[in-house]
């Protein structure tokens, strides 16, 4: 353990960058910023915001861990840990009985299995295809001329089950356009889109041994329609963090606190 | 223009004399002399095939080369040559050609090989020889080549079960095959030639067993990445020849030296891994750099397992049939699973990676079951999706994340 208790975790994803600063009492501050095309600027901006939120400066930090695809792009010393381990750590910190973590990010989705000691024992990822990710929802929102933030609540108003059969995001968008032309209601189509994502995630998850509590993390977890449809699909209650998008960064910060060597 | 020039060059025997010297100098940096034996063997085989001093027999990966050498032919393995094109990072060139004719869902080694054939980079075959063992894409591919080159395609139908009737069936096929090929090539079947091939095969096998025994050492003395490249190449292409004996003897001595010194191939070995499947990506990639950088040694691979008993000169066809049927990838998945479990225990591995090559239905189909059985025995197993020959199906960042996450799991 580090003697000074202030640590930071960075989750540098392709769409957003999150930073969490933790202290003896837990989370002291955090930030979420779009990554954009300049990773260095996003890292700097998110660090500044999180540190300001925490009321500390970078020199107060005793260790930093970075995760996400951009984890090797830091200009300051940090240890790199994959987002699988970080999400597992973060989710189990918030919900200690978590055994399954479902993380739906902007461009990838993963299912992580933890043991009773909260260690990752298995995982499966889909980062080759946007279907089942936040990007899929974003494209569909565009096709439906709907605000992304409203997609969840609209899905809950679906009255009819509509199946979106296309696996590919691009073809699914064409399918949605056809459904609109056929007069299907926006709510029903959005309900079908959510079902399609849940179906993909369920099939991915069933390759592993799903047991115990399920915690849902990542930006897509803010979509309450998605939470509901996963709950129905898995026939289980789903733990939902207050801010699901920072769970990876939180896990990274916790690993930083527990690691004796902060720099890789 | 360049393509035609290269295709013209490689057909000239003198080309091989010219490149041999510079290649020797270039590869002298490798402390492992076995590697240079592999390079020399490849050059000589290719030269002979283009020179057509002996019948050129294109052979699929799991047909015992003892047969081809016993028939007096020079075997050409299009899949192995395809992997070389990937190694030199020029497979894209050939894939572009092949994809105008066949589906991109097929195994990239066949796609590359077809592209090479279309570009004139492969020596004209006199006949084609494939078997149904393991690699079911080879039969369709060789069938297509038969039309392309207008040459006969001989096919060994390997029975699913290794039993008395299955062996009889295979022995009869082998006898018919050798008669037919001897008639076609005009080179009579000579038992004394085959006896020599058998003797060399058994000697190479002996060294390979010693090597596999040495590789149980801690730390791992020899990288799986190399065993999966020229090690597998030599196993598929050369068994039954003097170079194969020289190769395995040299490799055995090299590894023995490492074991005597207590030298592992990694500065610090933290985890021991078993690699499942016969191949790895051959184009430039970061897979083994990531594993090495995290102290994860690939200590053994199923491709190097000696699954066949010694061949018997008193019953050549029966023992070649036995060799084919002994392949653990033939028949029920339980054979492959049991073999993987044994290897995992023998080599005291901490985990396994199954490389699921795109288009390889016979290996990928059982991968989940194999992984589940290993996990149930307390051996973490990761299925790494990828492509052995087509770099457009490779994503370094995603692969690195998966490998690092797997290593983090082992820690």
**Domain presence at residue B87:** yes
Left, alpha or beta for A110 (phi > 0: left; psi -120 to 50: alpha)?
beta
Judge whether B101 lies within some domain: yes
Pairing of strands A109-114, A120-126: antiparallel
Contacts of A83 in chain B (CB under 8 A): 401, 405
**Could you tell me if residue B329 is inside a domain?**
no
The whole-angstrom separation of Cα B55 and Cα B401 is 48
Q: Which residues of B touch A80 (CB under 8 A)?
A: 404
Distance CA A226, CA A233 (A): 10
pLDDT over 80 at A89, yes or no: yes
Say yes or no for a CB contact (<8 Å) between B380 and A121: yes
B164-185 helix and B316-326 helix, angle to the nearest 10 degrees? 120
Would you call B73 helix, strand, or coil by DSSP?
Answer: coil
Q: Which segment of A98-102, A135-139, B192-196, B279-283 scores lowest on mean pLDDT?
A: A135-139
Fill in the DSSP letter of residue B124: P
Range B220-230 average pLDDT:
96
A128 contacts B408? CB cut-off 8 A: no
Closest residue in B to A207 (Cα) is: B368
Shortest distance, CA B347 to any CA of chain A (angstroms): 21
Q: Which of B351, B384, B408, B411 to mutate to test the interface with A (most CBs of A within 10 A)?
A: B408
Question: Stretch B211-238: mean pLDDT, rounded?
Answer: 96
Per-residue exposure over B306-335, b if at least 16 CB sit within 10 Å of its own CB, e if not: eebebbebeebbbbbbbbbbebbbbbebeb
**Domain of B133?**
2-169
Q: Tokens 């059969």 appear where? A: A165
> Which residue in B380, B398, B405 is closest to A84 by CB distance?
B405
B385 φ, ψ (degrees, to nearest 5): -75, 140
Provide the pLDDT for residue A262: 42
| Strand order across the B127-131 sheet | B74-76, B56-59, B127-131, B153-156
User: Can you tell me the distance from the alpha carbon of B200 to that of B243, in angstroms, rounded to the nearest whole number?
Assistant: 9
Return phi, psi of residue B220, to 5°: -60, 125
Q: Is residue B8 part of a domain?
A: yes
Using CA atoms, how far apart are residues B72 and A198, in angstroms rounded to an integer? 60
A85 to B368: CB separation less than 8 angstroms, yes or no: no
The candidate with the shortest Cα–Cα distance to B155, out of B174, B184, B131, B173, is B131
Percent of chain B with pLDDT over 70: 95
Disruptive mutation site among A82, A108, A133, A259 for chain B (greatest number of B CBs within 10 Å): A82
Tell me how close the Cα of B261 comes to any Cα of chain A, in angstroms. Answer: 30
pLDDT of residue A163: 83
Which of B156, B140, B83, B149 lies closest to B120, judged by CA? Answer: B149
Q: Is the pLDDT of residue A264 over 50?
A: no
B401–A83 C-beta distance less than 8 A = yes
Structure confidence at residue B13 (pLDDT) = 65
Among B117, B126, B119, residue whose Cα is nearest residue B49:
B126
| Residue A209: predicted pLDDT | 85
C-alpha B390/C-alpha A237 separation (Å) is 43
CATH of the domain at B89: 3.40.50.11890
- Mean residue pLDDT across chain B: 92
For residues B381 and B379, what is the distance between their CA atoms, to the nearest angstrom?
Answer: 6
Closest Cα to residue B301, out of B251, B346, B257?
B346
Whether B110 maps to a domain, the answer reads yes
What domains can be seen in chain A, in order of their start residue? 7-85+246-258 (3.30.420.40), 97-240 (3.30.420.40)
Residue B408 lies in a domain: no
Q: Is residue B287 part of a domain?
A: no
Residue A176, pLDDT score = 87
The whole-chain average pLDDT of chain A stands at 90
Report the DSSP beta bridge partners of residue B296: B271
φ, ψ (nearest 5 deg) of residue B383: -95, 115
Residue A244 DSSP code: G
* Number of Cβ atoms within 10 Å of the Cβ of B257: 13
**CB < 8 Å to A69, chain B:** 397, 401
User: Could you give the ipTM of this predicted complex?
Assistant: 0.86
Q: Is A65's pLDDT higher than 50?
A: yes
Contact between chains at A121 and B368 (C-beta distance less than 8 A): no
CB distance B379 to B349 below 8 Å: yes
pLDDT at A263 (0 to 100): 38
d(CA B293, CA A189): 48
Q: What is the structure's pLDDT at A87?
A: 97
Work out whether the CA dihedral B17, B22, B27, B28 comes out positive or negative. positive
Work out the pLDDT band at B31, boundaries 50, 70, 90: low
- Sheet with A7-12, edge to edge strand ranges: A26-34, A16-23, A7-12, A63-67, A79-80
Residue B154, domain member (yes or no): yes
Q: Which of B368, B375, B408 has its CB closest to that of A81?
A: B408
The residue of chain A with its CA nearest to that of B399 is A127
pLDDT of residue A127: 67
DSSP labels, B272-335? EEEEESS----SS-SHHHHHHHTTEEEEEEGGG---SPPP-GGGHHHHHHHHHHH-TTSS-HHH
Nearest to A120 among B385, B402, B409 (CB): B409
pLDDT digits (tens, 9 = 90+) for B286-298: 999 999 999 999 9
Which residues of chain A does B401 touch, with a Cβ-Cβ cutoff of 8 Å? Answer: 69, 82-84, 125, 127
What residue in B sits closest to A119 (Cα-Cα)?
B409
Using DSSP's 3-state secondary structure scheme, residue B127 falls into strand
Contact A84 B380 (CB under 8 A): no
How many domains does the structure of chain B reveal?
1
End-to-end CA distance of chain B: 53
The pLDDT score that the predictor gives to residue B171 is 97
Chain B stretch 159-218, residues whose beta carbon is closer than 8 A to a beta carbon of chain A:
none
Tell me the shortest Cα–Cα distance from A120 to chain B, in angstroms.
6
List of chain A residues whose C-beta atoms are within 8 Å of the C-beta of residue B405: 82-85, 120, 123
The pLDDT tens digits of the residues spanning B149-176 come to 999 999 999 999 889 999 999 999 999 9
Query: Are A172 and A196 within 8 A, CB to CB?
Result: yes
d(CA A172, CA A165): 7
B392 interfacial to chain A (CB closer than 8 Å): no
CA distance B409 to chain A (A): 6
């Amino acid at each position: 353990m580090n003697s000074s208790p202030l640590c930071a975790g960075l989750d540098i994803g392709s769409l957003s960058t999150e930073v969490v600063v933790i202290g003896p009492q837990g989370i002291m501050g955090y930030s979420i910023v779009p990554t954009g095309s300049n990773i260095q600027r996003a890292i700097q901006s998110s660090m500044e915001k999180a540190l300001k939120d925490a009321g500390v400066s970078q020199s107060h930090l005793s260790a930093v861990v970075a995760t996400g695809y951009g984890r090797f792009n830091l200009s300051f010393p940090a240890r790199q840990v994959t987002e699988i381990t970080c999400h597992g750590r973060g989710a189990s910190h918030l919900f200690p009985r978590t055994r399954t973590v479902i993380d739906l990010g902007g461009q990838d989705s993963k299912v992580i299995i933890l043991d009773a000691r909260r260690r990752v024992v298995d995982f499966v990822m889909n980062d080759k295809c946007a279907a089942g990710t936040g990007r899929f929802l974003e494209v569909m929102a565009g096709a439906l001329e709907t605000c992304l933030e409203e997609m969840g609540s609209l899905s809950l108003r679906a009255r009819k089950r509509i199946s979106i059969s296309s696996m590919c995001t691009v073809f699914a968008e064409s399918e949605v356009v056809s459904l609109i032309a056929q007069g299907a209601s926006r709510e029903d189509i959005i309900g079908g889109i959510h079902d399609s994502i849940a179906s993909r995630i369920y099939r991915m998850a069933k390759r592993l041994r799903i047991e115990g509590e399920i915690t849902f993390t990542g930006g897509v977890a803010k979509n309450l329609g998605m939470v509901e449809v996963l709950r129905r699909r898995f026939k289980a209650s789903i733990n939902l963090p207050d801010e699901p998008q920072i769970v990876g960064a939180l896990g990274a910060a916790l690993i930083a606190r527990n690691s004796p060597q902060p720099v890789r | 223009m360049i393509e035609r020039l290269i295709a013209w060059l490689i057909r000239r025997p003198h080309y091989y004399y010219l490149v041999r010297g510079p290649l020797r100098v270039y590869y002298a940096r490798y402390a492992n002399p076995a590697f240079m034996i592999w390079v020399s063997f490849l050059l000589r085989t290719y030269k002979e095939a283009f020179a057509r001093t002996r019948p050129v027999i294109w052979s699929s990966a799991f047909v015992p080369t003892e047969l081809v050498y016993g028939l007096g032919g020079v075997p050409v393995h299009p899949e192995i040559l395809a992997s070389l094109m990937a190694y030199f990072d020029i497979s894209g060139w050939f894939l572009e050609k092949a994809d105008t004719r066949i589906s991109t869902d097929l195994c990239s080694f066949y796609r590359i090989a077809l592209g090479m054939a279309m570009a004139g980079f492969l020596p004209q075959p006199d006949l084609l020889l494939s078997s149904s063992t393991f690699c079911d894409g080879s039969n369709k591919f060789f069938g297509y080549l038969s039309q392309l080159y207008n040459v006969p395609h001989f096919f060994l139908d390997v029975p699913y079960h290794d039993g008395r009737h299955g062996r009889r069936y295979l022995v009869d096929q082998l006898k018919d095959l050798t008669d037919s090929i001897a008639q076609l090539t005009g080179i009579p079947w000579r038992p004394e030639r085959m006896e020599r091939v058998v003797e060399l095969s058994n000697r190479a096998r002996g060294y390979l067993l010693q090597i596999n025994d040495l590789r149980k050492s801690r730390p791992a003395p020899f990288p799986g990445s190399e065993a999966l490249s020229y090690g597998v190449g030599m196993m598929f292409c050369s068994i039954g020849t003097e170079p194969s004996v020289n190769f395995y003897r040299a490799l055995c001595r090299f590894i023995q030296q490492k074991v005597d010194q207590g030298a592992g191939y990694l500065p610090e070995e933290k985890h021991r891994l078993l690699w499942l499947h016969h191949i790895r990506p051959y184009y430039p990639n970061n897979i083994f750099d990531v594993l090495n950088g995290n102290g994860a040694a690939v200590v053994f691979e199923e491709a190097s397992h000696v699954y066949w008993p010694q061949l018997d000169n008193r019953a050549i066809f029966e023992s070649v049939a036995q060799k084919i049927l002994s392949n653990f990838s033939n028949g029920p998945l339980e054979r492959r699973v049991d073999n993987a479990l044994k290897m995992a225990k023998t080599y005291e591995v901490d985990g396994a990676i199954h490389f699921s090559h795109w288009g390889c239905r016979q290996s990928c189909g059982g991968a989940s079951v194999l992984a589940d059985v290993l996990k149930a025995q307390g051996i973490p197993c990761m299925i790494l999706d990828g492509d052995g020959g087509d770099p457009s199906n490779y994503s370094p960042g995603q692969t690195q994340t998966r490998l690092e996450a797997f290593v983090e799991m082992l820690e």
